[in-house]
Structure 1
């Protein structure tokens, strides 16, 4: 996180309109310190893994 001025993660959960379960929306907003810093794409796999772990716990 030393490469970013700010980094905000927002998680929104909405019940499905039909059937059981919910839909989860993750939003990652960040401001890099400079243009040479790569986008935090490695976090996408992390977010996906967390979502799957939570799903296992809730079902």
Structure 2
């Protein structure tokens, strides 16, 4: 059975390396992040309470 498996091969891909990532490739340009405009929300006043006539 081992010879059959050796002839067929495996459907899986090769294992990925573990540990620290290789980092930034040398010579590649680095760009700053695109900044989005700041959106400030206005403070809404508290709702008025209905006046009770006595």
TM range (shorter): under 0.3
More strand by share: 1
Larger radius of gyration: 2
**Higher relative contact order, chain-length normalized (CA < 8 Å, sep 6+):** 1
More helix by share: 1
Q: Structure 2 length normalisation: TM-score?
A: 0.20
